[in-house]
Amino acid sequence: MTRLFKMLTFQAATLATAGLMLSTAAAMTRAAPMPAAASVQIANFTFKAQVVTVKPGTTVTWTNADDIPHTVTSNNGLFKSKVLDSGDKFSFTFAKPGQFGYFCSLHPHMTGTIVVKA
């Protein structure tokens, strides 16, 4: 009897543990599709912040808050937005580590850098 009780208790504990593991797995499954994100504001002819550090896989979104159109143009040709009028957005996902300089091709004195590191 005692032995049976022990076995039952063991099975219940196993089930409970398995259940916990399942729910953890479910939570992880829910979290996985939400990618890391960062944002950069374009305001007063500057990129804010000028240097943004993110983890690989992060999607960076730029929003033009100025009355004047701007672009987000990579220094080395990796990415280039179309012209962003007031309120327009542009996103790019940085897969690999590195330093990625960019500028506004209309107003090239406007510069910024995305630093990607694990």
Binding site for another protein (CB under 8 A): 44-46, 66-69, 73, 75, 82-83, 85-86, 101-103, 105-111
Q: In whole angstroms, how close is the CB of 65 to another protein at the nearest point?
A: 11
Q: In whole angstroms, how close is the CB of 110 to another protein at the nearest point?
A: 8
Cis check for the bond before 49: say yes or no (omega within 30 of 0).
yes
Q: In whole angstroms, how close is the CB of 41 to another protein at the nearest point?
A: 13
Query: Residue 98 has what DSSP assignment?
Result: E
Alpha-carbon distance of 106 to 118, in angstroms, equals 32
